[in-house]
Amino acid sequence: MLIGTPHQGDTDVAATTENVLAALAGTDFFWLDLDDTEPDDMVSELLRTHFGFHPLAVRAAERFSQRPRLDEYDGFAFLVARGADADQSGHAEVHCFWTDRDVVTVHRGDCAAIDQVRERVHRHSARQVAPEQVVIVYLVVGELVDSFFPYLSALDDRIDALEDEILKAPTEEQLDEIFHMKRTLIDARRLVTPRRDAMASVKAGVADVPGMNDEAARYFRDLYDHLIRLST
């Protein structure tokens, strides 16, 4: 089952096969957001057959709980981006394809980052500031990156409180919590570091992705700066 919205200009339409094919047949930029919760292969078939994305990229998009990655293909780029997911719901992982004229995002279930970007796109015209596909990718990745800041801040607050508790009356439960938080920080670093390196390669011009120009480089540089803040 496909659930999504080909976004063209200020209009959202249902992601029916008919509407998607009409968008592909046109010349205007569009953003298609897909929910791949149902195990029916319809999203993969759409990406492979109608968009013509490489089978390896489509296969990668089928697997969730991946580390962040950025892969370059002829005519498009494939990106895995993840945000803070304290409940391990899987709703903070987005797979993104983008070309010179469209962006396709794939996730499973509700995704707060996608909802927030959709609202921002409705309020502000992306085409006025940079290539549209770059702006959409920047906004989606930016929302996921920024979700780590309050998450890590809350973790810092808990560490401070735990230190005070240990000084007063140490317990084995507190030690278990310390080890748990250590694993949490390691997991967060594993999500942040690969994406930081990917953004570094884009902003340096090493990675060749659609829509890159001097203005677009500023957006990826901003993402890189946010990721540096998280990783230090």
- Name the residue type at position 16: T
- The percent of residues above 70 in pLDDT, for the chain, comes to 93
The tens digit of pLDDT for each residue in 109-118 reads 999 999 999 8
Q: What is the CATH number of domain 4-147+188-231?
A: 3.30.460.20
Question: How far apart (Å, rounded) are the C-alpha atoms in residues 158 and 32?
Answer: 39
Rounded to the nearest 10 degrees, what angle do helices 172-203 and 214-231 cross at?
A: 160
The tens digit of pLDDT for each residue in 136-175 reads 999 999 999 999 988 888 888 888 888 888 888 888 888 8
Backbone angles phi, psi at 67, to 5 degrees: -75, 150
Question: How far apart (Å, rounded) are the C-alpha atoms in residues 95 and 126?
Answer: 20
Domain extents for the chain?
4-147+188-231
Please name which of 147, 151, 161 lies closest in space to residue 184, comparing C-alpha atoms.
151
* pLDDT at 71 > cutoff 80: yes
pLDDT at 1: 32
The tens digit of pLDDT for each residue in 93-103 reads 999 999 998 99
pLDDT at 143: 95
- Name the residue type at position 115: D
- The percent of residues above 90 in pLDDT, for the chain, comes to 38
Q: What mean pLDDT is reported for the chain?
A: 86
More confident residue, 39 or 11: 39
DSSP string covering 133-169, please?
Answer: HHHHHHHHHHHHHHTHHHHHHHHHHHHHHHHHHHHH-
Residue 3 pLDDT level (bands cut at 50, 70, 90): very low
pTM beyond cutoff 0.75: yes
